[in-house]
Structure 1
């Protein structure tokens, strides 16, 4: 009995976990669904990370972890048949709004984000300070130039698809909208109140931030996403007609919410994940209220 207890203690003291199917093999990789340690022989390549053979078979293997009978993403979301569905829908909405704007240029005036017009001493008649808070949402889907929507939609497809598969639909959508709204709030706070801002860049930069956090969590090579992010930041600060406030606000929000999505402990996962999103939104609302008080 003492010998068995001693063996168990030695096993518990291991700093590196062992494969659940091959106890004699140490590994630092875990299944992205059930989070059990898996060795190279048991790794099955997935859209994001690796999965164990049991999860690939739909949880029919013996000895499967109780919480893994239903396939889950690394963030706890439900694995779906089409992991890019929301990304496709978001791209479709952006393109539809772009087509509508090309058909009627006056429509853009009601979609873009700007603070107030006219300024003091006149009472604001339009803009966010005039109560048009809906502009924070509509401006996220509005584009005027072909190069602008083309670049943003390519980035959304390239970054958004894999991130949606990794987080699950609800969590992915939360990161997207929280990042976009945070970018709009920072723009409203800092930029000139008469300067119009539009585009999905704030939300997309949030996806960049969340992707970087995810890749760090999975111990992936981060050089590609860092290089792409640096290139985008060079463009952000290299051209005068780009709203750097939206990019930075979205990036920070994406990093914060993304960290909560992939690092939250399983027992309180949903509470921490959505609580963090709510906290970022609350900060954004406070910034908007502060700026509105300055303009009215």
Structure 2
């Protein structure tokens, strides 16, 4: 299910939202590495609670596309590359994008309310954990029908949560809130009644 066998062109055609998010994150990361323009982009987009309190509300959104180094980017984009396509295929383009963005945004909103004004953060991890949460909701509804999904997703969620608390410089709040938001949205999207409705619309 999560082994990617598509060619580059097939991947782009089949998973346009995941492809766009991957490209956006990578391009922005490259731009932040450039002299002069890089620090300006980073400074204008990172989540700084004091600046948000002063009215810079876009910082609830922009930190999702900034990363604190290559390994930070690599980890998040690898997860998106591997797990994103299956969720985009199952939920559809609009629903997938909703899960991704709302998980990341609500994670950043939670950081604003639960951390002090001096707290600053970047990263797509809240949105990435939202993908995990949505798969958790799918497991909840299909645990008897898709046992292999449960065997893969639950250990990954468990490891992800444990590592969140064990590693230094991790935005724990964004991770956990992103996971919860993704799960709650997934409960709505993957409810059997809603899935039946999607199928009827496709038939029409």
Q: TM-score, normalised by structure 2?
A: 0.83
Paired residues in the alignment total 182
How far does the alpha carbon of each residue in 1:134-171 deviate from its partner, in whole angstroms, 9 at most, with x for none? Answer: 01111011012111000000111111110000000011
Q: 1:168 to 1:128 in 2, by over 3 A?
A: same
Residue 44 of structure 2 is aligned to residue 110 of structure 1 = yes
Local SS of the residue matching 2:27: helix
- Does 1:262 find its partner at 2:190? yes
Query: What's the C-alpha RMSD, in Å, of the aligned pairs?
Result: 2.1
**2:180 equivalent to 1:252:** yes
Higher radius of gyration, 1 or 2: 1
Question: Mind listing any 5+ residue stretches in structure 2 that lack a counterpart?
Answer: 3-11, 199-204
Are 2:169 and 1:169 aligned? no
Q: Return the structure number with greater relative CO, CA threshold 8 A, min gap 6.
A: 2
Aligned partners of 1:83 and 1:164 also within 8 Å: no
Cα separation, 1, equivalents of 2:151 and 2:119:
35
8 A contact 1:101–1:144 mirrored in 2: no
Name the TM-score, length of structure 1 as normaliser.
0.58
1:82 to 13, 20, 23: 13
Residues 215 and 111 from structure 1, CA distance in 2 versus in 1: closer, same or farther, beyond 3 angstroms?
same
- Structure 1 segments, 4+ long, off by >3 Å, are 266-270
Unaligned stretches of 5+ in structure 1?
1-46, 49-80, 117-126, 271-296
Q: Residues 182 and 249 of structure 1 are in contact (CA less than 8 Å); yes or no, is this contact kept in structure 2?
A: yes
